[in-house]
DNA sequence: TCATTAACCTAACAAGTGTTAGGCAAATTT
DNA sequence: AAATTTGCCTAACACTTGTTAGGTTAATGA
């Protein structure tokens, strides 16, 4: 019933931007306050610590990704379709909020316990979901017999890397980016025929 | 003629380890000094700032990678061989010093000008070298007509990601890791025959 | 109208930051 | 034997850090 607390999300958005730009540790609560034209102490009316802001950003993004992956698993049955859809969703979520994504991907390490362990659990949950799709694909003989762990890491590192170069004003839109990445990684995943001219032994 | 300054490299090694563990900003010069059982001020006999230590680590790694890529380009002629060799070298260099590599890959953002621009230049140089190999491969019709920029980012993000999970004590050794990654990305790169059963138009 | 809540303020805190100045002792070089 | 270099020290600096206590003001709800 509780509607979106606007001031809170404003602070979180500004924090995410600054955490992305300067890094969590190099960004002071006074930096954040300054961005919002308030005093540093005023932030503590909304949050009980700087780390809480970081944790909210990290867990919010993690939750979004996990939810999207669950939905994908519910809708599609074919492993290739699942991978395509999962990548598309992942790219869309990241492209939708680059700052928060960058914080989620890079600054989560600054979390302390118990946040840290909890975050790692969610992260593993998501990675395992991805891995499962690939494992299924191999089982169904749709994918080549690649090392599933490797494949997941390659796929995820590729899609996550877009935070380093994606610009919303650029020519390439999320959907197109996702397609290109899918094409590329599916090339590495798909069952290859031995008659393929360049196929090595 | 100047031999390796041992104390200096000790300090750099300790710094790299701590920068990796805590992050550059969260790691104080007193943390570094403590690790070496000396006082913080003593570090300034060897370096003129904390940032100098960071820059040495970043540039040393960048230089190693660039040199290795140059050598690869000198030795091999075939695009596929080049990619395989480049990946192998890259993985070997990273695996050889995980701490410095992690700092090189993640903490370079904390550099200030003029270091920052200089670093970015080296980074682009390396990426372009990689990209050139792929472009050549496409031209020679060895590789599929993929987006070279995308391919490079996928390849490099995959190999760089190993700093997150590689353990020297683990079963998989650098050479094997490089092979697996090569197999995977070359699957995405190789020219595919249209007779390939799963090939989607 | 009164009470409550939301949003902010000033002032201060203890602790930690990178860095400098100047000095001392041992090892190395001349 | 003298001079220099190397490696470290103590002490201090000006500044920044996250956070707390306690108070004010305006909006909201009863």
Please state the rounded mean pLDDT for residues B27-40.
Answer: 94
Distance from CA of B196 to the nearest CA of A (A): 6
Query: CA–CA separation, B190 vs B184, rounded Å?
Result: 10
In Å, what is the CA distance from B197 to each residue of A4, A34, A54, A180?
50, 59, 48, 20
Confidence at residue B96, expressed as pLDDT on a 0 to 100 scale: 95
| Structure token digits, residue B13 | 């090694």
If you ran DSSP here, which 8-state letter would residue A106 be given? I
- Domain total for chain B? 1
Provide, in whole angstroms, the distance separating residue B28's CA from nucleotide D6's C1'. Answer: 24
Provide, in whole angstroms, the distance separating residue A14's CA from nucleotide D20's C1'. Answer: 23
Confidence at residue A194, expressed as pLDDT on a 0 to 100 scale: 45
Bigger pLDDT: A185 or A119?
A: A119
Please report whether residue B177 resides in a domain: yes
Confidence at residue A101, expressed as pLDDT on a 0 to 100 scale: 97
Confidence at residue B191, expressed as pLDDT on a 0 to 100 scale: 60
Range of the domain at B165: 51-189
**Contact yes or no for B50/B132 (Cβ under 8 A):** no
Average pLDDT, chain A: 88
Name the nearest CA neighbour of B130 among B175, B182, B179, B176.
Answer: B182
Please report whether residue B146 resides in a domain: yes
Distance from CA of A1 to the nearest CA of B (A): 39
- At B111-136, the pLDDT tens digits run 999 999 999 999 999 999 999 999 98
pLDDT at A197 over 90: no
In Å, what is the CA distance from B27 to each residue of A171, A198, B33?
39, 50, 11
Distance from CA of B165 to the nearest CA of A (A): 10
Contacts of A179 in chain B (CB under 8 A): none
Please report whether residue A6 resides in a domain: no
Please report whether residue A72 resides in a domain: yes
Please report whether residue B34 resides in a domain: no
**Chain C nucleotides covered by protein, CB below 7 Å:** 6-12, 16-22
Q: Is residue B141 classed exposed, middle or buried when 0-12, 13-18 and 19+ CB atoms within 10 A define those classes?
A: exposed
CA torsion through residues A143, A148, A154, A158, sign: positive
Cβ < 7 Å from nucleic strand D: A 27-31, 40-41, 43-44, 48-51; B 5-7, 33, 36-42, 44-46
Q: Do B153 and A157 count as a contact with CB atoms less than 8 A apart?
A: no
Cβ of B22 near strand C (under 7 Å)? The reply is no
Please state the rounded mean pLDDT for residues A104-133.
Answer: 95
Please report whether residue A97 resides in a domain: yes
Contacts of A142 in chain B (CB under 8 A): 198
Please state the rounded mean pLDDT for residues A122-126.
Answer: 96
Confidence label for A32 from pLDDT (cuts 50, 70 and 90): very high
Cβ of A7 near strand C (under 7 Å)? The reply is yes
Confidence at residue A170, expressed as pLDDT on a 0 to 100 scale: 85
Confidence at residue A192, expressed as pLDDT on a 0 to 100 scale: 56
Please report whether residue B12 resides in a domain: no
Bridge partners of residue A190, in order along the sequence:
A143
In 3-state terms, what secondary structure has residue B143? strand
Query: CA–CA separation, A29 vs B59, rounded Å?
Result: 32
Of B31-35, B54-58, B140-144, the least confident: B140-144
Partner-chain residue, chosen from A158, A190, A193, that has the shortest CB–CB distance to B153: A158
If you ran DSSP here, which 8-state letter would residue B116 be given? H
The alpha-carbon radius of gyration of chain A (Å, integer) is: 20
Please state the rounded mean pLDDT for residues A45-52.
Answer: 94
pLDDT at B12 over 60: yes
- At B142-189, the pLDDT tens digits run 888 878 888 888 889 989 999 988 999 988 899 999 988 888 888 765
Please report whether residue B27 resides in a domain: no
Average pLDDT, chain B: 88
pLDDT at B98 over 50: yes
Q: What is the CATH number of the domain that holds B72?
A: 1.10.357.10
Residue B170 contacts A, CB cutoff 8 Å: no
Confidence at residue B4, expressed as pLDDT on a 0 to 100 scale: 53
């Amino acid at each position: 019933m509780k509607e979106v607390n606007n001031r809170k999300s404003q602070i979180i958005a500004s924090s995410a931007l600054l955490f992305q730009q300067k890094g969590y540790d190099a960004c002071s609560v006074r930096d954040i306050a300054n961005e919002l034209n308030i005093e540093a102490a005023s932030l503590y009316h909304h949050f009980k610590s700087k780390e809480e802001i970081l944790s909210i950003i990290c867990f919010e993004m993690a939750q979004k990704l996990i939810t999207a992956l669950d939905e994908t698993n519910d809708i599609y049955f074919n492993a290739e379709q699942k991978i395509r859809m999962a990548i598309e969703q992942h790219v869309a979520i990241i492209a939708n909020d680059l700052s928060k994504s960058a914080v989620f991907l890079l600054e989560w390490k600054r979390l302390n316990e118990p946040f840290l362990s909890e975050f790692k659990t969610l992260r593993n949950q998501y990675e395992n979901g991805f891995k499962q799709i690939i494992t299924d694909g191999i089982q169904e003989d749709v994918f080549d017999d690649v090392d599933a762990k490797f494949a997941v890491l390659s796929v995820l590192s590729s899609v996550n890397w877009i935070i380093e170069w994606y610009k919303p004003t650029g020519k390439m839109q999320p959907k197109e980016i996702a397609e290109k990445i899918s094409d590329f990684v599916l090339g590495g995943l798909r069952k290859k025929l031995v008659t393929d001219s360049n196929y090595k032994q």
